[in-house]
């Protein structure tokens, strides 16, 4: 006998689409509509309602891309509407396109008194009203005509990401502005059917439960009168009730469902629109909480709460009430869901200082978990930072996107470079935008890797990225699957409750050690170079501003600029969001980011100049102020003075000689040969008596590659790029532009394609370092520019700077994990070496690198270090990286990792020229170069205490004596939030302040009772 399943399935689908769904609303009537188009940027409600509204016909076009139209809708509930088991709702369709909720038109609904009701989204189109027959309707809709930038493709260049190119033609046409009467039993029946229909599709054919559900759905259709769905819906629900009442298997996987809306703080929309997206989503959430007592919602970014407080204070007060009830749950503890590969160490620390500080001040709540579902890989320094911030849990799902390797765990302890561990969960549902479908729930149950030892996972549900959040349909799905035979069980509760339950289940979690590298989106280390340069520059200007302001406050009584520094930090932290700093946003986002970086730079330069002026006094003596942790050219770390002898013993003058077509630069430490092609044919370490450029190779060579990833242009570099590269060797000119005993500079100019390249190669007295400045006027499309340094060093691994230390990565290709790691991130330097010898390649704004090793004919190996300087993706910004860029690189020979660290600081926070009458004594000194001062500041609580952050940089246990240049009454170790913790690093505070630190340990000291030395 043929299997009738297919035909029953078709019958169910057709009946639902043609009979059940249309019957959800018993009645519908059009509303009266008037409108006003905002001529420019969005305006407040108070301003909008004072404007002249004109009649508007539903079906008409409205607003331009990125515009706003205010609709005023009025009407009366018909007096003959039967209200039994029904509810009046306003129904709105602004012209939504299929798919992509949160990526297109949206609306926020206001009362005439300026009270926000809820939002209108592509899949959340109803506004419930507590009114009845004869009652009037008077509402305003603030409708945003955000273009669907992504459209049907994530690859095609589009003008829609830039206000200047998006045009003025309307892109939406309204379809519905009605009043409707929702039939509650019919709606409930539709949710019953959706859950059971999804369930039978996930069950195996051998399971009786599958056939039972299928037959039950068929009986439902037989029970319902297709001409009177409303009148027979209750009887239909009774047919399905036994199927929904059958309890789950005792061994069913248990899912903790957390309402969530992953709202990107910018991406395919600008930050200004994110602020409105938050208001829309959060109003939806509050409305849903009014209807469902069990529903709670997790929101991760303190920045988004802060926006509500500033721009929507009434909404913020409503949120605050729910926060204190434990239903609107702050999670994560960071200012934004930042990238974790690219921000510097102090910036990652400040994400928690700012985020947790806000939650503690506003709500008295400190989230225990870190919530980063969508960042593009996770730094090996993060576990220690998480613990130092007072957090204990970590959540992400992004590694489920890996192209090559599957992560072996879903619940585990993640170990960082210093040995710190944090309890971590990857939701096996593998999405942060779940709708709680049976397909998703069964995927979580099927894929969960800790089966047999534990049985719980978390599922974040709600429309995200562009916002919208959970819907009443999702909550209904959670309620129906709380305890349902054949389905995993679902419980709506908080992330903290989940983590506590998961910890109790898994007594001995497996351990993952080191970075969680995302085998995807490797291009984010390089895209939008100006944004990345702005971030790097801002981080180091903030270091300088805080150090010198602290010194000025202690020594001269100058006022410490708390508010200005807090504002600058918040701007920088916002722009470290995981679609801004990685370069994966529309042009508008990056234009604004670059404007903000320039503003921050100007403000910080003013603060630095003021503080240094207080410290050096009036005078014309030329001085250098060194905010770095290492002495440079005779200027002490964290202090200032006249430029003196180099920090190296050999200060022989630099010489320039010509040998045929070659130029030879020599400072008795390193000898550099630049050949007729303007390339480095020899890099000779004089002290070690060894050549570093392998025979037949040349260094400091620019290579251009075809860069056409299979998907996600700005995000991805695909491995096949390696097959499509060529060197840029054509030379326009080679000239010596500076020649003195202190420094020789050779300039090489090239043209290739539509771009020009000017490199300055320089050698300075007393430094075993070749410095390069690469000035590019870049006008390529879908190309990748790399700077290559082949080195005669037999390296097994590379060491790359990350936050508060470095990570070691194999450069062989033994395993699929090694092969997949073909592009990696580093902060200020990469180091490669063999036993007893190494080379450091440092940079001032580059993050993307690749390091490989090949065996030469005749023996020996070449280690190739390449910096990824520029890309030119065409989506989502079709003009990404076009124009001029200046990037600096240095190659230090005979270097260990501490030399690499020193070189990285020199390039990024080198001595600053100032004038005055007196040198600046260092605010503190450290006698061990492995113990690095990363930040000096005054305490967040404005007590005047001095806070100093250190880390161990070599990767080995170290002792150090710290000598403060100020008097103090006591010193204590603290967490990142500057709260006292158990003493682990201080071994002597009575005499000299002595520290003993483990490899890569992060230490924060708080000095109380501070005063200037007399």
Positions marked catalytic = 374
CA-based nearest residue to 475, from 444, 445, 431, 436: 436
How many residues are present in the chain?
Answer: 1014
| 996, burial (CB in 10 Å: exposed 0-12, middle 13-18, buried 19+) | middle
CA distance linking residue 256 with residue 504, whole number of Å: 15
CB 509 within 8 A of CB 460: no
Tokens of 436: 């709680």
CA distance linking residue 812 with residue 852, whole number of Å: 7
| Residues in contact with 940: Cβ distance below 8 Å, sequence separation at least 6, in sequence order | 353, 357, 947, 977, 978
Whether residue 662 has a cis bond before it, omega within 30° of 0: no
CA-based nearest residue to 530, from 881, 266, 907: 881
User: Which conformational region is residue 1013 in: left (phi greater than 0), alpha (psi within -120 to 50 degrees), or beta?
Assistant: beta
| 198, burial (CB in 10 Å: exposed 0-12, middle 13-18, buried 19+) | buried
CA distance linking residue 72 with residue 763, whole number of Å: 69
CA-based nearest residue to 564, from 540, 588, 582, 542: 542
CA distance linking residue 932 with residue 950, whole number of Å: 5
CA distance linking residue 985 with residue 142, whole number of Å: 56
Helix (H) or strand (E) run with residue 473 in it: helix 472-480
CA distance linking residue 397 with residue 392, whole number of Å: 17
CB 170 within 8 A of CB 12: no
Tokens of 22: 């249309």
8-state DSSP, 524: G
CA angle 903, 904, 909 (to 5 degrees): 105
What separation in angstroms does the CA of 409 have from each of 377, 398, 412?
A: 16, 13, 6
- Own/partner contacts of 853-858, CB < 8 Å, gap of 24 or more, are 853/795, 853/811, 853/812, 856/694, 856/695
Sheet strands (E) in 531-647: 621-626, 639-641
Q: Which residues pair with 972 in a beta bridge?
A: 1006
User: Dihedral of the CA atoms 621, 626, 632, 635 (nearest 10)?
Assistant: 40
CA distance linking residue 283 with residue 288, whole number of Å: 9
| Residues in contact with 649: Cβ distance below 8 Å, sequence separation at least 6, in sequence order | none
CA distance linking residue 387 with residue 421, whole number of Å: 8
Residue for token pair 């043929």: 2
CA distance linking residue 177 with residue 136, whole number of Å: 15
Tokens of 10: 């078709």
């Amino acid at each position: 006998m043929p299997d009738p399943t297919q035909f029953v399935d078709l019958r169910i689908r057709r009946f639902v689409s043609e009979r059940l769904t249309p019957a959800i609303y018993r009645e519908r009537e059009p509303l009266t509509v008037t409108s006003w188009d905002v001529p420019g940027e969005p305006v407040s409600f108070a301003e909008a309602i004072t404007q002249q509204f004109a009649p508007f016909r539903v079906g008409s076009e409205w607003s331009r891309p990125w515009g706003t139209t205010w609709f005023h809708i009025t009407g009366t509930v018909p007096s003959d509407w039967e209200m039994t088991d029904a509810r009046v709702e306003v129904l709105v369709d602004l012209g939504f396109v299929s798919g992509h909720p949160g990526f297109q038109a949206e609306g926020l609904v206001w009362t005439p008194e300026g009270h926000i009701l809820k939002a209108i989204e592509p899949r959340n189109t109803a506004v419930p009203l507590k009114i009845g027959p004869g009652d009037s309707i008077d509402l305003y809709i603030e409708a945003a005509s955000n273009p669907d930038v992504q459209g049907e493709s994530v690859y095609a260049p589009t003008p829609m990401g830039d206000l200047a190119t998006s045009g003025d033609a309307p892109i939406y046409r309204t379809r519905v502005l009605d009043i409707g009467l929702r039939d509650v039993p019919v709606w409930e029946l539709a949710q019953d059917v959706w859950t059971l229909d999804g369930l039978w599709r996930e069950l195996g054919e051998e399971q009786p439960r599958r056939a039972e559900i299928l037959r039950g759905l068929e009986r439902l259709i037989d029970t319902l009168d297709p001409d009177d769905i409303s009148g027979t819906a209750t009887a239909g629900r009774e047919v399905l009730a036994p199927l929904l009442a059958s309890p789950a298997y005792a061994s069913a996987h248990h899912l903790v469902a957390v309402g969530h809306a992953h709202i990107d703080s910018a991406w395919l929309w600008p930050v200004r629109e994110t602020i409105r997206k938050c208001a829309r989503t959060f109003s939806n959430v509050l409305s849903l909480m009014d209807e469902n007592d069990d529903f709670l919602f997790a929101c991760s970014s303190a920045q988004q709460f802060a926006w509500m407080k500033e721009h929507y204070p009434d909404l913020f007060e409503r949120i605050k009430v729910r926060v204190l009830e434990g239903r609107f749950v702050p999670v994560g503890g960071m200012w934004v869901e930042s990238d974790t590969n690219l921000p510097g160490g102090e910036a990652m620390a400040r994400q928690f200082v700012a985020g947790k500080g806000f939650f503690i001040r506003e709500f008295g709540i400190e989230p225990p978990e870190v919530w980063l579902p969508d960042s593009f890989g996770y730094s090996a320094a993060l576990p220690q930072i998480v613990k130092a911030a007072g957090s204990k849990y970590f959540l992400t799902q992004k590694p489920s996107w890996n192209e090559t390797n599957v992560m072996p765990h879903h619940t585990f302890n993640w170990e960082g470079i210093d040995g710190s561990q944090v309890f971590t969960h990857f939701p096996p549902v593998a999405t942060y935008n779940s709708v709680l479908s049976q397909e998703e729930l069964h995927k979580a149950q099927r894929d969960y890797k800790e089966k047999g030892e534990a049985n719980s996972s978390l599922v974040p549900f709600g429309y995200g990225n562009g916002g919208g959040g959970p819907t009443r349909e999702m909550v209904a799905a959670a309620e129906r699957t709380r305890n349902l035979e054949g389905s995993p069980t679902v419980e709506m509760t908080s992330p903290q409750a989940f983590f506590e339950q998961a910890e109790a289940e898994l007594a001995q979690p497996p351990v993952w050690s080191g970075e969680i590298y995302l085998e995807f989106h490797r291009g984010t280390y390089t895209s939008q170079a100006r944004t990345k340069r702005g971030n790097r520059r801002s981080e180091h200007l903030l270091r300088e501003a805080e150090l010198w302001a602290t010194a000025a406050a202690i020594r001269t009584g100058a006022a410490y600029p708390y508010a200005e520094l807090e504002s600058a930090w918040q701007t920088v932290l916002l722009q470290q969001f995981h679609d801004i700093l990685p370069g994966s946003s529309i042009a508008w986002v990056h234009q604004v980011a670059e404007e903000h970086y320039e503003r921050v730079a100007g403000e910080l330069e003013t603060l630095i100049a003021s503080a240094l002026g207080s410290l050096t006094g009036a005078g014309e003596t030329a001085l250098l102020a060194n905010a770095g942790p290492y002495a440079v050219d005779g200027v002490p770390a964290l202090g200032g003075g006249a430029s003196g002898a180099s920090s190296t013993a050999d200060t022989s003058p630099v010489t320039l000689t010509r040998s045929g077509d070659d130029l030879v630069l020599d400072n008795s430490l390193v000898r550099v040969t630049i050949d007729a092609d303007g390339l480095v044919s020899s890099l000779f370490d004089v002290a070690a008596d060894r050549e570093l450029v392998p025979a037949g190779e040349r260094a400091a060579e620019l290579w251009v590659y075809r860069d056409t990833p299979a998907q996600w242009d700005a995000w991805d570099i695909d491995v096949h790029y390696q097959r499509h590269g060529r060197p840029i060797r054509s030379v326009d000119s080679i000239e010596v532009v500076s020649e003195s005993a202190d420094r020789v500079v050779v300039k090489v100019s090239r043209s290739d394609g539509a771009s020009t390249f000017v490199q300055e190669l320089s050698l300075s007295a007393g430094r075993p370092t070749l410095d390069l400045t690469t000035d590019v006027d870049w006008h390529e499309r879908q190309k990748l520019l790399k700077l290559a340094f082949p080195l005669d060093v037999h390296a097994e691994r590379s060491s790359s700077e990350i936050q508060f230390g470095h990570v070691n990565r194999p450069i062989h290709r033994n395993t699929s994990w090694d092969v997949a790691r073909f592009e990696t991130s580093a902060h200020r330097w990469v180091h490669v070496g063999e036993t007893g010898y190494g080379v450091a390649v440092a940079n001032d704004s580059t993050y993307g690198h690749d390091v490989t090793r090949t065996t030469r004919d005749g023996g020996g190996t070449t280690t190739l270090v390449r910096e990824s300087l520029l890309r030119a993706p065409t989506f989502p910004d079709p003009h990404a990286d076009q124009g001029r860029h200046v990037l600096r690189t240095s190659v230090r020979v005979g270097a260990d990792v501490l030399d690499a660290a020193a070189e990285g600081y020199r390039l990024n926070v080198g001595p600053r020229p100032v004038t005055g009458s007196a040198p600046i004594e260092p605010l503190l000194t450290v006698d061990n170069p492995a113990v690095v001062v990363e930040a000096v500041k005054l305490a967040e609580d404005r007590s005047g205490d001095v806070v100093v952050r250190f880390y161990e940089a070599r990767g080995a246990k170290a002792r150090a004596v710290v000598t403060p240049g100020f008097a103090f009454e006591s010193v204590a170790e603290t967490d990142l939030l500057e709260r006292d913790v158990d003493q682990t690093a201080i071994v002597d505070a009575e005499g000299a302040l002595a520290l003993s630190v483990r490899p890569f340990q992060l230490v924060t000291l708080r000095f109380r009772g501070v005063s200037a030395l007399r």
